[in-house]
Homo-oligomer: A and B are copies of this chain.
Amino acid sequence: MNAAPMTLTIREAVPGDEALILQFIGELAAYEKLAHEVVASESDLSATLFADNPKVFALIAEADGAACGFALYFFNYSTFLGRHGLYLEDLYVTPEARGAGAGKALLARLAKIAQDHNCGRLEWSVLDWNAPAIAFYESLGAEAMSEWTVNRLTGSALDNLAAKDRAHGDAR
**B144 lies within 8 A of A151 (CB):** yes
Give the number of residues in A that approach B within 8 Å (Cβ atoms): 86
How many copies make up the complex? 2
Q: What is the distance, in angstroms, from A32's C-beta to the closest C-beta of chain B?
A: 9
Residue A19 at the B interface, CB < 8 A? no
A79 CB contact (under 8 Å) in B72, B78, B125: B72
| Chain A residues with a Cβ under 8 A of chain B | 7-12, 25, 28-29, 34, 37-41, 44-45, 48, 53, 55-56, 72, 74-84, 87, 89-90, 101, 104-105, 107-109, 111-112, 114-115, 120-129, 137, 140-154, 156-162, 164-165, 168-172
Q: A9-B171, A137-B151 are in contact. List 20 more A-B contacts (CB 8 A).
A: A7-B171, A34-B80, A39-B80, A40-B79, A40-B80, A40-B81, A44-B81, A44-B82, A55-B77, A56-B75, A104-B164, A115-B159, A121-B152, A121-B158, A122-B158, A124-B151, A125-B150, A142-B151, A142-B153, A143-B153
